[in-house]
Structure 1
Amino acid sequence: MSNSDLQEAMETEKGVAVVTGASSGIGKIYADRLAARGYDLMLVARRGDRLQAVADELKQNYEIRVETVIADLGDPDDLQRLAERIGNDENVTMLVNNAGIAVAAPTVRTSSEDIERLISINNTALARLSLAVLPGFAARNHGTLINIGSVQSFYSRSASTTYSGTKAFVMLFTSGLQQEFAATGVRIQLVLPAGTATEIWELAGVDPKIMNPSMIMSAEDCVDAALAGLDLGEAVTLPSLEDEQLWAEFDALREKMFHAMQTNVPASRYSIAR
């Protein structure tokens, strides 16, 4: 088999990976790493010029096909068009739900428009796109869904309450999907990065100069760790957590608390003297 035939066979096997928020940061690195693994790509972002530059570079570096889709995932019409497109494409074998935004400000000083946009991009778009591809993945018993959450899925700061709330949705939504598809060939991974060097900070109104470099991971290291976790079969990947037992204990405690509350009797501390 010639090199070109081998490459074509590998591409056919891999299929198309859809990456949202692919014009910069984590999404751009995912596009590069997946291209290196032999996936054809459908790259989605709002900024068409930057998206095309990423696509041109990838086509130059790898023998793959790259399609670009300019879409604002906070726009219902754009989201609907993209959901229909990827849901009807049997070549799509992976979706990386990376697109997301943040606002760093006290909640009472955050406009309702900003809050609605946070929810629409971080939650509504992620859920809609997940549910667009999963029926096809289920029918073929094959496919990979990667949802990018955050360490703030389980820890909220005073200046990012809505952002943390949206990421908590990502964590629990993905966890529920994992249970639904546990007995199938569909893989669903939740990635929970901590601080990562991307444009999201500046766009959220945070000056990167005030941040401690020792606490901020590069986007390259974050994605490489996430893909290593995927290769290891992890359901949840925390790229910067050295002691993985901490997550196991946290997850077990959440389940223990849930089951401990399944009773029709109020806790004794709430008893009212009669």
Structure 2
Amino acid sequence: MKEINNKTFAVVTGASQGLGKAFAIEIASLNRDLILVSLPNQGLKDVAEEIKGKYHVEVIFFETDFTTNENIIQLAGLINKEFNIDILINNAGIGGTRSFSEVNLDYINTILQVNIHATTILTHQLLPNLKRQHQAYILNVSSIAAFSPVGYKTVYPASKLFIHSFSRGLREELKNTGVSISVIHPGAMATNPEITSRIEKQGFMGKLTLIKTDRIAKYAIARLLKKEPIVVLSKLTFFTSKILPEWLTIPLMTRIVKREITNETI
């Protein structure tokens, strides 16, 4: 194995912007070296250079498209061959607000592939590398939406419920190893102007629940390193989403979310 000064690296997917970039910055601030991954042409090189210059850590980056399994397997093989890793943050994901009956199959397949297949396959392929370390950590990014089925999102919450179940089950399976698995359920995030604007169209609740990504990242990494199984920022929102009956939450949340694609006002 070719190693860079026998260092161990933290892998962050979806690292070019939003929460992924915030995760990368937070890890770098802890003097940890990074392997960043994102889609091509997303400015990842600039992000890597910015972090390297500010925090003086080693930053490697790879640009690839997670919509094909071959790309994921190829990336994992390269990482396993060249690097030791002790943190994996499966942050790459895709969502959106659309009418299910009006979207095409590519839209559905992309959500399932990136949110479910990529996380599962990358974890599987990198797990032997993580197990080689004295202590290693996996953070999978789910969503509060995992516990709140809602119209006009439909596939996205279902995919995030998979991430929750996958994380909890794998954590139990690996409890006697050195690999600790956590799953985070962030709520609405101010990741970029387009997404922030879309969430704000939900009205008062959307604006109230928006959280900045740097705050989420700082909180999540601290809990990850403490080996907490489930990470939530808004415990009230989390428990409300699990306790309130679906006959109440599904129509309510669907009406709120529908505002993202209509001109309806509060």
Fold conserved between structures, TM > 0.5: yes
AA at the equivalent of 1:229: R
Structure 2 vs 1, CA of residues 103 and 200 (structure 1 numbering), >3 Å: closer, same or farther? Answer: farther
Structure 2 vs 1, CA of residues 201 and 124 (structure 1 numbering), >3 Å: closer, same or farther? Answer: farther
Structure 1 unaligned regions, length at least 5: 1-10, 252-274
Query: Which structure 2 residues correspond to residues 119-268 of structure 1 after superposition, within 5 A?
Result: 119-199=112-192, 202=195, 207-211=198-202, 212-242=206-236, 246=239
AA at the equivalent of 2:97: A
Q: What's the secondary structure of 2:219's corresponding residue?
A: helix
The answer to whether the 8 A contact 2:188-2:209 is kept is yes
Task: State how many pairs are aligned.
Answer: 236
Higher radius of gyration, 1 or 2: 1
Query: Which structure 2 residues correspond to residues 67-106 of structure 1 after superposition, within 5 A?
Result: 67-106=60-99
The answer to whether the 8 A contact 1:222-1:239 is kept is yes
AA at the equivalent of 1:51: L
Structure 2 vs 1, CA of residues 89 and 242 (structure 1 numbering), >3 Å: closer, same or farther? Answer: farther
Range with greater deviation from structure 2 (84-93 or 151-160): 84-93
RMSD: 2.5
TM-score (norm 2): 0.81
TM-score (norm 1): 0.79
Structure 2 vs 1, CA of residues 74 and 243 (structure 1 numbering), >3 Å: closer, same or farther? Answer: closer
Q: What's the secondary structure of 1:178's corresponding residue?
A: helix
The answer to whether the 8 A contact 2:9-2:86 is kept is yes
The answer to whether the 8 A contact 1:22-1:31 is kept is yes
User: Which structure is richer in relative contact order (CA contacts within 8 A, separation 6 or more)?
Assistant: 2
Offset of residue 153 of structure 1: 1.3
Offset of residue 61 of structure 1: 0.5
The equivalent residue for 2:260 is: none
The equivalent residue for 1:260 is: none
Structure 2 vs 1, CA of residues 234 and 200 (structure 1 numbering), >3 Å: closer, same or farther? Answer: farther
The equivalent residue for 2:249 is: none
Provide the C-alpha distance between the structure 2 equivalents of 1:24 and 1:30, rounded to a whole number of angstroms.
10
Structure 2 unaligned regions, length at least 5: 244-266
AA at the equivalent of 1:232: K
